[in-house]
Amino acid sequence: MLFNHVNLVNQPMNITAQQLRTKYLEFFKSKGHEIIPSASLVPENDATTLFTGSGMQPMLPYLLGAQHPKGTRIADSQKCFRSQDIEEVGDNRHTTFFEMLGNWSLGDYFKKEQLPWMFEFLTKEVGLDPKFLFVTVFRGKPDINVPRDEESAVIWEGLFKAAGLDAKIVDNSERDGIQGGRIFYYPEEKNWWSRSGVTGNMPVGEPGGPDSEMFWDYGAQRQIHEKSSYKDQVCHVNCDCGRFVEIGNNVFMEYVKTAGGFEKLKQQNVDFGGGLERMLAAANGQQSVFDTDIFDPMFQVLELDQEIMSNDEIRKARIIVDHIRASVFFAADGVEPSNKDRGYFLRRLLRRSMVMGKLLNLKHHWLEALMGKVVAGYAESYQYLLDKSENIYKVILAEQKKFEATLEKGLREFEKLMQKQGEVKGKDAFDLYQTYGFPWELTKELAEAAGQKVDREEYEGEFKKHQDLSRTASAGQFKGGLASHSDKIVRLHTATHLMNAALRKVIGEDVWQKGSNITEERTRFDFTHNTKMTPSEIAEVEMLVNQWIKMDLKVKKEIMPINEARKLNAVGVFGEKYADTVSIYTVYDEKTGDIISREFCGGPHVEHTGVIGEFKIQKEEASSAGVRRIKASVF
């Protein structure tokens, strides 16, 4: 039977993605905006990031005051990719690739024009029922002299009341719940926008400002049974249960970070970004972005034998269609699979989707069929997909062929193990991964299909044993210092070594590691230092780490006696006792032989720094007397 993805409201679609995109651009054209084409997913003249991740990214010079050739009112639909959302794909709202509907005022109009226009567009042009719309505004931050955004709250209140709705303004909803409100104040973690996040992370020269976000109530009932992860949490529009989904964000970008704090930009800007896919789902009464006409033709080519799809199967199918859509646009913009930089992410998307395809027993030509649906579905808006389709197919199918050989070898070994011993043990699963690159998830699924279970703890133990022969401090922290050995954590781990080296270079060699903890979201690194780092010191550390990442430096592991390691001046954890034999990880420039970082460590690490991504310090604060703490992420 054809795969039937879930549409809980079962409401016929009445607007397509193409119609919504056109309707948005025409609306803002009627408001005096010039329409510009989408920029490439590969940023031009911006070495700070691998991908275009937001609509404002190509607009940054003009938000800072440069004159745009098209004037002060601009609108577009911008292609975007966010690698940090890869693990989130499968729910009702997250995708890696998406289109961001955008409009900008470059020192022209401001709040009293932007908010009524958005309300008009959503309720009149798109037809959204305002009773399902909720909005958030900035609570204010007195320590940087940015006030509570009462102006936006009052404007929203008037708009809802004109539509016949009571619009109660509520504070502290994250603590006390919705309380019958429709307009909610939130702190900077939720309602301040800059490329680098909250105000404390913004480097000097970075623009930002308070924002007002718009949420759609999908109406999904929160699960309150005893196993629900939300049963003890307060429900509010910014919680994660999936009932409320952000469909647009009005950023009032009027501040810039300076060495002395925050100052007003020379112009007040509006930077609106709205997810086309999310807005489309809301417009058609659908519970998921994957229920829209963007993905529907893709799902139709996933012909499966199962009469009923489980939630896990639905998640796998969503991962496939998301990743292949992103891969098509990557290939069209000139990205090719590799082990570093942008190519690493394309390879990861393709191989992950191929694993999911194997687990769902998809037919042989499913990948080619999905690519065709993406090209055809976007051809009207992105003609160049047709023009470059031959190369798109060539690049992606070559990667499929290369990875299928790896998968087939692993499958043969899996079958041999099952025939020989009737099960696959945790150690066997690790050997399959280490030797053939055979993913844990695939081993687990195949074993379960045969009525067996694979010991995950044993698998993790084998991985730890392999990576941690020397029982160094990092080895002792594998459970506490590293949350797992996932790709994101491995990249963060190597980035942490680079950060340690940068700190010693910027602050001085009195810096010593006092502890670390790395999760999917961030690295937390404690180090000896008596004073708060200055903004310029933080910026210089970031610059050095990103420079070393872009150099694609080699990472080498060596196992040696402790005495030899000390002769190499390897850096360790302050006060830590090491075994007689240790492992050393060195980051170095193969061309010059220069050593960037050399540390006692049990791993795991990337093989080349180029795959790490963009490094960003999120916070620098005191940990204890004489010890500072940094939290940082990679994107």
Would you say 348 and 487 are in contact if contact means Cβ atoms under 8 Å apart? yes
User: For position 473, what pLDDT does the model report?
Assistant: 32
Tokens of 102: 């955008």
Would you say 108 and 68 are in contact if contact means Cβ atoms under 8 Å apart? no
Tokens of 447: 């074993």
User: For position 220, what pLDDT does the model report?
Assistant: 55
Residue owning tokens 């925050």? 262
CA 255/CA 209 separation, integer angstroms: 6
> Pairing mode, if any, of strands 554-561 and 581-588?
antiparallel
Helix (H) or strand (E) holding 61: helix 60-63
Q: How many helices (H) and strands (E) does the chain have?
A: 20, 17
User: For position 305, what pLDDT does the model report?
Assistant: 40
Residue ranges of the chain that CATH labels 3.30.930.10: 17-291
Kindly provide the residue ranges of all beta strands, DSSP E only, lying in 437-540, ordered along the sequence: 513-518, 523-528
CA 263/CA 207 separation, integer angstroms: 10
Q: What distance lies between CA 490 and its chain's CA centroid?
A: 16
Closest CA to 272 of 110, 102, 487: 102
The CATH classification number of 17-291 equals 3.30.930.10
User: For position 219, what pLDDT does the model report?
Assistant: 75
Sheet with 615-624: strands ordered across: 513-518, 523-528, 627-634, 615-624
Distances in Å between the alpha carbon of 569 and those of 186, 473, 582? 49, 17, 13
Per DSSP, helices labelled H in 551-605 are 562-567
User: For position 601, what pLDDT does the model report?
Assistant: 83
- Look up the CATH superfamily of 473-634: Threonyl-trna Synthetase; Chain A, domain 2 (3.30.980.10)
Would you say 505 and 488 are in contact if contact means Cβ atoms under 8 Å apart? no
Successive 10-residue mean pLDDT values, the chain, 635 residues: 36 78 97 94 74 83 87 94 83 90 96 98 95 96 94 98 96 92 95 88 89 88 52 83 90 92 93 95 90 89 61 88 96 88 88 86 89 94 94 94 83 89 91 78 80 89 64 36 72 94 90 84 89 91 95 89 80 61 86 88 86 93 85 92
The conformation of residue 127, written as its DSSP 8-state character, comes to -
Task: Give me the DSSP letters along 164-221.
Answer: T----EES-HHHH--TT-SEEEE-HHHHEE-TT-SGGGPPTT-EEEEEEEEEEE--PP
Residue ranges of the chain that CATH labels 3.30.980.10: 473-634
CA 519/CA 597 separation, integer angstroms: 22
Q: What distance lies between CA 57 and its chain's CA centroid?
A: 16
User: For position 543, what pLDDT does the model report?
Assistant: 94
Task: Give me the DSSP letters along 336-390.
Answer: ---SSHHHHHHHHHHHHHHHHHHHTT--TTHHHHHHHHHHHHHTTT-THHHHTHH
> Pairing mode, if any, of strands 133-138 and 192-193?
unpaired
Would you say 78 and 52 are in contact if contact means Cβ atoms under 8 Å apart? yes
Tokens of 331: 């290939």
pTM score, two decimals?
0.68
Torsion of CA 31, 33, 35, 39, to 10 degrees: -130
User: For position 474, what pLDDT does the model report?
Assistant: 33
Within the chain, what is the greatest distance between any pair of CA atoms? 78
Q: For the CA atoms of the chain, what is the radius of gyration?
A: 26
CB-based contacts of 284-287 (< 8 A; 24+ apart in sequence):
284/11, 284/13, 284/14, 284/15, 285/9, 285/11, 286/7, 286/9, 286/11, 286/13, 287/6, 287/7, 287/8, 287/9, 287/92, 287/218, 287/220
Would you say 478 and 590 are in contact if contact means Cβ atoms under 8 Å apart? no
Helix (H) or strand (E) holding 314: helix 311-332
User: For position 3, what pLDDT does the model report?
Assistant: 37
Would you say 564 and 630 are in contact if contact means Cβ atoms under 8 Å apart? no
CB-based contacts of 591-595 (< 8 A; 24+ apart in sequence):
none
